[in-house]
Chains A and B, each alone.
Chain A
């Protein structure tokens, strides 16, 4: 390891934080202010960083860094076309990019999840993207309804072995999966119920907040729903609830440990009453048995009361062992654990509300 950084995307710019030898963190000056930085991804092969920067006046662009976030460039700044844009024939306009994800199997391939809900694919390392037409033309799409955060495609999980297989999630349409390179997409929401859905629940329309999986066991997926944490052992074919031991079943992020496929993390929020941390304390809940039991991890986190929530991409893991786990809050505080979540330290405070965090090591 030659360097490690935590990239923090906020409602008004980006901060990159770096660990000190004494266990604390130093934060670089704010970048891209006042533009929201809505998605960040690190290339697992090179450590290259991509960030979606939504200039409030001029629209979304993609920024690139090859030095752990110290310097950034905008390769498409003078280009005639934006790096991510809807084709004119769609009649749609890009509002935001909420997810960037490098393919684990195809060098140079990057996916982008957009609002309005659409998947884009780049084959040149994220410089230019094309709409994945198969999902855009899905017969369900006219019936998809937005969640409170808009009709956004917020999760992209490329299969770790098969480049033709990709799982995505949309609020509030649910999980869809393609096994033919994005030509056709099948809803994968069986078993996900909610108070706001009819009984039996529909084929799609679930308010999926986030999905994650471990690359060594891609058929086992974990999902945070708007009410309910779920596991699937057949890549989303059927979902079962695993939230019996949690203090609240609502939340936004869900993160799988980088080295233990049955270890996962959530951050429970009270819902739908006030959507604040359960117990009015930040408590990261970890399960080491794929959701059968849970344990609260809060050593080093503030005593509270805490009333700010944590958004779906504002929690992440790094690739180290023991793993670093990170989360940022809507009132602009960021916390890190360098020991699988056992103990926590403050990374930054008083930032704008945190939209996403991503750790990078190279």
Chain B
């Protein structure tokens, strides 16, 4: 199935990445699979979204539509064909 990962300007400008990255994934793919595929396609982006263990960095959020995967099943969240994943820096800090 095809899904799209959308990248924030703050991230794509660091490495000259496109705003949207299309991915071709197995039918049972999860968000974790999508981020692994993103890492394989664009490692300089992937290492900034996930740490060395494959975990989502603590101040990065991934939304599927309006849903934050932290409110779903995190990286185990299943994907549907045509899904849009949006990577966003969190509104955090002080």
Contacts and interface: CB of A to CB of B under 8 A. Distances in A.
Dominant secondary structure of chain A at its interface with chain B: loop
A56 interface: yes
B47 A82 contact: yes
A81 interface: yes
Contacts, number: 53
Contacts of B93: 34, 56
B51 A57 contact: no
Interface string A6-29: 000000000000000000000000
Given A57-B10, A77-B15, A93 B55 contact: yes
B22 interface: no
A57 B60 contact: yes
B89 interface: yes
B66 interface: no
Interface string B39-64: 00001100111011101010110000
A19 B35 CA distance: 48
A169 B1 CA distance: 51
Interface residues of B, number: 21
Nearest to B47: A82
Given A80-B43, A80-B44, A59 B15 contact: no
B59 A81 contact: no
B11 to A, nearest CB: 7
Given A34-B93, A78-B16, A93-B55, A58 B48 contact: yes
Nearest to A87: B52
Given A57-B89, A57-B90, A80-B43, A91 B53 contact: yes
Interface of A: 34, 55-59, 77-82, 85-88, 90-94
Q: 3 nearest interchain CB pairs?
A: A80-B43, A58-B48, A93-B51
Given A58-B11, A58-B49, A90-B52, 15 more contacts: A56-B92, A56-B93, A57-B57, A57-B60, A58-B14, A58-B57, A59-B47, A59-B51, A77-B44, A78-B15, A78-B44, A85-B47, A88-B53, A92-B52, A94-B51
